[in-house]
Each structure stands twice: as C-alpha cells, then as structure tokens.
C-alpha cells in the first residue's frame, strides 16, 4: 500500500509500516511544517492514502471536497507509540482493500470505514 504519513503520525508507525513492505512518504522527513492542503496534495500526487492523527483532514475532504484516494485517521490517544504501531499495522493488514476511496478511523474500539468517491 502507498501511504503519505502526516507529521503528526508517530515515527514508530511509519517504521513499522515500512518494515511490512508498505511505501510510506513521511512528511516529517520531506517538508516539515507544510500546511494540511499541501499534505493532501502530496497524497493526491502520489495516489497514496493519507495517514494522520489530525481531524482537520475530515473538513478538507468532506466540507471543501478536496479529492483524495483515502484517509486513515488514527485516534489512539494515551496509547504508547509501539502499541499504536501494532494496532495500525494490524488494521491495515486486515482492511487494506477497503481503505481506498474511504475515510477510515482507527480507534481503541474498532476500525470504522466510510466509503466515498472523493
């Protein structure tokens, strides 16, 4: 899977996904501090799913109708970074085919996936 990880995503998650063979462009390594629209633009240009912890991307995708191949919002506050990496990697392994053209939320309780044509 191709992913663009927003700089809000823990490095441990990025490293884990790379170890599992995913292509991950990490904003913190590319252009630290770029705005959300530019991050979304990078995901669009790479035809990659955006991985983030920032709820603002929901507004960009839904209210402003900015196109994106998909968004995965990680909502695991209070969970150690290594454990987050495990949860995210497992969710991606189980649901990778469902993440395209969707807005997904990975939380403590579940993985919620809402399909849309953005």
DSSP sequence for 45-90: HHT-EEEES-THHHIIIIIS----S-EEEEE-TTS-HHHHHHHHHH
- Domains of the chain in start order, with CATH, are 2-115 (3.40.50)
- Digit-coded pLDDT (tens) for 66-107: 667 889 999 999 999 999 999 999 999 999 999 988 889 999
Question: Is pTM beyond 0.85 here?
Answer: yes
- Digit-coded pLDDT (tens) for 30-66: 877 788 888 888 888 899 999 999 888 777 776 666 6
* pLDDT confidence band for 118 (50 / 70 / 90): very low
């Amino acid at each position: 899977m191709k992913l663009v990880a927003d700089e809000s995503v823990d490095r441990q998650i990025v490293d884990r996904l790379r170890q599992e063979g995913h292509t991950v462009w990490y904003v913190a390594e590319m252009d630290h501090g770029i705005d959300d629209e530019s991050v979304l633009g990078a995901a669009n240009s790479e035809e990659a799913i955006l991985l983030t912890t920032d709820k603002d991307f929901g507004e960009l995708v839904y209210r402003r109708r900015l196109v994106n191949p998909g968004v995965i919002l990680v909502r695991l506050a209070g969970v150690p970074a290594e454990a987050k990496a495990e949860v995210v990697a497992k969710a991606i392994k189980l649901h990778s085919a469902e993440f395209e053209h969707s807005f997904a939320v990975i939380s403590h309780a579940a993985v919620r996936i809402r399909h849309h044509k953005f």
